[in-house]
Structure 1
Amino acid sequence: MEQDLLASDPQELAEAWAARRAEWLRVQAVLKASGWSVYEPERDSVGSAWAAERVARREQALAAHAAHVKQRRAAADEVQAEVWVPAGPGRLLRQVAARAGLRPQEVLAQLAARLVVDDNGAVSVEAFVPSR
C-alpha cells in the first residue's frame, strides 16, 4: 500500500492520493449516516465488497505474473531456429514428413530431441521413425 504512495510517476501519485481521499470521504459519510462512532469495515457492505474485489484482483495479478515467469523460464531453455536445407535433403525431409502426417519442422524438432553428443563432441541421432 505504501509502495503506491512512492510511485515515480507524478500522475500515478496524484491518482493514488485522489482515490484515497475519495475513500476517506466515503467512510466519513458512512459514519455520519449510520451514527457509528468508530468505523467498522465488516459492517460497511460497500467497503467490504471493494476490499474483496481488490484482493481478488491482486490474487489474479499474482497468478498471472507467476504463470508468465514460469513460461519465460521454460522458453529460456528452448531454441528456435530457421534452417535452410539443401534441395536434395529437403525433398527427403518433406517425403518423410508427409508419410508421418507431420510438417517438416516437426520432423526436425523430433530429430533435435534425439540428439546425442559423445565425449569427443560428435553429434549423432539413432535411427527413428517420426510420429505424431
Structure 2
Amino acid sequence: MSSITQIALDLAQLAQNIARLQEQAAAIPDRARVAQVEGANQEDAQRTYFRSLEVLAARIGQRTEVVRRYVDANAEALQKAADALQSTDGDTSAEARRASAFIEASIASAPPAPAGPSSTSAPAPTSGAAPKAW
C-alpha cells in the first residue's frame, strides 16, 4: 500500500472521528440543565441536602460546559488540520505530476545520446581553465 493511500485512509478515519467528537459535544447537556435539581426541601435536613446538591450540580454544570467547549474546539481544530493536510496533499500530488510530465517530455524531446566515444567533439570545459593535453 502506497503512502498516499495510507494518508487517504487515515484522513477518512480522521473525518469519522471528528464527526463523532462533534456529535458527542452536541450531546453534552448545557450548564443550566446539569445544574437543575429537583426534590423535596420542606424540612431542614432536606433543605440542607437540597442546597448542597444545588451547589454541586452548579459546579458540575460549569465543568461540563468547559468539557463541551474543549471537545468542540478540538474537533474544529482537527477539522481545520485535516482540511489543510488534504489541500497540501493535493498541491503536492499536482506538483509531482507536473514534474513527472516535465521530465518525461524532456526525455522524449532530447536527442539520443551517442552510442560510443566520439572523435568529433570534445567535452566542454567546466571551468575557465584550458583543457589539459593527455
Is TM > 0.5 for Structure 1 vs Structure 2?
no
Question: Who wins on radius of gyration, i.e. which is larger?
Answer: 2
TM-score range, shorter chain: 0.3 to 0.5
User: Please, what TM-score do these two structures have when normalized by structure 2?
Assistant: 0.41
As a proportion of its length, which structure holds more strand? 1
Question: Which one has more relative contact order, counting CA pairs under 8 Å at least 6 apart?
Answer: 2
As a proportion of its length, which structure holds more helix? 2
